[in-house]
Amino acid sequence: VGTMGISDKVPLPTDSEDDSKDEIPVAEKSLLQKIIRKGLVETTKPLDIQRKNPNSPLYSVKTFEALHLKPELLKGVYDMGFNTPSKIQETALPTLLADPPQNMIAQSQSGTGKTAAFVLAMLSRVDVTKNYPQVLCLSPTYELAIQTGEVAAKMSKHCPEIKIKYAVRGEDLQRGTKLSDHIIIGTPGKVLDWAIKFKFFDLKKISVFVLDEADVMIATQGHQDQCIRIHKLLPQNCQMMFFSATYETEVMEFAEIIVSNPIIIKLLKEEESLDNIKQYYVKCKDGDIDDKYQAITNIYGVITIGQAIIFCHTRKTANWLANKMQKDGHTVAILSGDLTVNDRIVVLDRFREGLEKVLITTNVLARGIDVEQVTIVVNFDLPMDQNRKADCETYLHRIGRTGRFGKSGIAINLIDSPHSMQLCREIERHFKKKIHFLNTEDPDEIE
Ligand code: ADP
């Protein structure tokens, strides 16, 4: 995996090898987040519902049966392992499926069930007696469109008559083609080409329009304008659905353009906390990376009871550590800044499936991606900012977990210098939570 220089001694990192400052584009973050997600994010926050038109009725359901879906569709939902609707689905689904159709703007963090909700609405609105595109879903990137399409394919497993087409790069049709698929999922540029330049389908016949990942969409140059151009050509009575993980003014202004008279539902993001996390530090010999390696080996048995992530400050350290562990016969995965998007997907996919129990990475992963299923986090290097002060925010994001329902975890910090001890103390003071000394010669000490 990746390109790793094989050497046993790790030279001191230089700034150029430090990818802690590398930024993953928002679209890719969103994608990686989806790949690593195992299930719904727990939410304890109340749902905030706003209606412009107070006369429009508002329903909520506690079961999927209550939605009166086609039996084949309901079966598809259950086959995916969904037993009950998530918090936003309870309200979003009856609204999205209502007759007459209702417009909706929904905002909630990644993992709360938005995609599943609109895919279900898209599928149940299809009229298979009509052989032309009726449902259009816009996604910001190729990969995100494919992700949505895969959910749709799974959910419609028992509805083989529903046809889905991707309007994304690489999909090219002969001139004069008239699409007979019911659902189009694509990126704005390609959809514009297909609808306007090539007239492969008629936007006037679209009755359901979904704009997904609106916040990611506006982060991409030109996408917002393309979406608006497409939107202008849709019929008046087309049902509009607008989804976003965040809720900035910019996103809401965009939403106002696309969706008239909406029901707006919002779910505040759950805060991360260290409450159920047992934190430790391990003293290693000053500047001795081999001693740190020894510490990892000592705790290996404990950390692989669950799934673990080891954070390193630089790619070089991460690659070195991964190599050494692999040579010693441990199965580890590595995710670092020098991998391609596809490689990252493969690595995270395997990790989510549990094929590797240990993932070694740099800060590339720490920002923006939540790894709720990981029970053990090892800071091979403590996070620090450019001034070499403790980066408490990154620490919390690496270690902290959301949800109160007994999700416990362990954090282990390796200390190899007076400076890293100082960082550790700073973090301890900041969160007012004790970081306990751990003797790795005696890993039974870990509770
Ligand atoms: P979002 O679009 O908000 O990121 P998703 O719809 O992708 O959320 O859902 C997040 C994860 O939860 C996915 O793995 C999905 O399969 C799963 N999921 C969605 N709805 C349900 C449900 N009602 N019950 C169980 N799992 C669900």
37 lines ligand 1 (CB under 6 A): yes
Largest pairwise CA distance in the chain: 73
Confidence grade of residue 7 (pLDDT, cut at 50, 70, 90): very low
Over residues 151-158, mean pLDDT: 98
Ligand 1 atom closest to 40 (CA):
12
pLDDT at 35: 82
Instruction: Find the 207 Cα to ligand 1 centroid distance in Å.
Output: 25
Task: Tell me how far the alpha carbon of residue 59 lies from the centroid of ligand 1, in angstroms.
Answer: 21
CB of 110 closer than 6 A to ligand 1? yes
Q: pLDDT tens, 184-243?
A: 999 999 999 999 999 999 999 999 999 999 999 999 889 999 999 999 999 999 999 999
Residue 82: is its pLDDT beyond 80? yes
Kindly provide the ipTM of the predicted complex, given to two decimals: 0.99
Task: Name the nearest CA neighbour of 416 among 385, 387, 445, 440.
Answer: 440
Q: How far is the CA of 361 from the centre of ligand 1 (A)?
A: 26
Ligand 1 within 6 A of CB of 207:
no
Rounded CA gap, 303 and 167, in Å? 44
Nearest to 73 by CA among 7, 155, 151: 155
85 within ligand 1 shell (Cβ under 6 A): yes
Q: Is the CB of 89 under 6 A from ligand 1?
A: yes
Q: 112 C-alpha to center of ligand 1: Å?
A: 6
Ligand 1 and 114: CB distance under 6 A: yes
**Ligand 1: nearest atom to the Cα of 119:** 6
Q: Is the CB of 40 under 6 A from ligand 1?
A: yes
352-367 residue pLDDT tens: 888 999 999 987 776 6
Ligand 1 centroid–CA 102 distance in Å is 22
pLDDT over 60 (residue 90): yes
Q: For ligand 1, atom 20, which residue shows the shortest CA distance? A: 113
Q: Tell me 268's DSSP state.
A: P
Would the CB of 35 count as within 6 Å of ligand 1? no
Across 319-347, average pLDDT: 90
Tell me if 39 CB under 6 Å of ligand 1: yes
Ligand 1 atom at minimum distance from 86 CA: 23
**Cβ contacts of 421 within 8 Å, gap of 6 or more:** 281, 415
Percent over 90 (pLDDT), the chain: 68
Ligand 1 atom showing the smallest separation from residue 109 Cα: 3
Instruction: Give Cβ neighbours of residue 173 (< 8 Å, ≥ 6 apart).
Output: 179, 194, 198, 200
Higher pLDDT, 388 or 442: 388
Strand order in the sheet with 103-107: 47-51, 262-267, 103-107, 239-244, 208-211, 135-138, 183-186, 164-167
Q: How confident is the model at residue 406 (pLDDT cuts 50, 70, 90)?
A: low
Out of 67, 86, 120, mutate this one to test ligand 1's pocket (max ligand atoms within 8 Å of CB): namely: 86
pLDDT digits (tens, 9 = 90+) for 28-39: 888 888 887 778
- Closest atom of ligand 1 to 151 CA is 16
CA of 220 to the centre of ligand 1 (A): 25
Convert the pLDDT of each residue in 105-143 to its tens digit.
999 998 999 999 999 999 999 999 999 999 999 999 999
What's the gap in Å between 240 CA and the centre of ligand 1? Answer: 21
What does the angle CA 351 – CA 294 – CA 322 come to, to the nearest 5 degrees? 35
* Total-model pTM: 0.85
Ligand 1 centroid–CA 371 distance in Å is 15
The radius of gyration of the chain's CA atoms, rounded to the nearest angstrom, is 24
What pLDDT does residue 447 have?
60
CA-nearest residue for atom 19, ligand 1, is: 113
- Distances in Å between the alpha carbon of 220 and those of 44, 137, 209, 213, 308? 32, 17, 20, 11, 33
In which band, very low, low, confident or very high, does the pLDDT at 1 lie, cut at 50, 70 and 90?
very low
Among candidate residues 420, 421, 379, the one with its CA nearest the CA of residue 396:
379
pLDDT at residue number 25: 79
| Position with higher pLDDT, 386 vs 447 | 386
Pocket test for ligand 1, best of 29, 40, 60, 150 (most atoms within 8 A of CB): 40
What spacing in Å lies between the alpha carbon of 267 and ligand 1's midpoint? 15
Mean pLDDT value of segment 424-442:
92
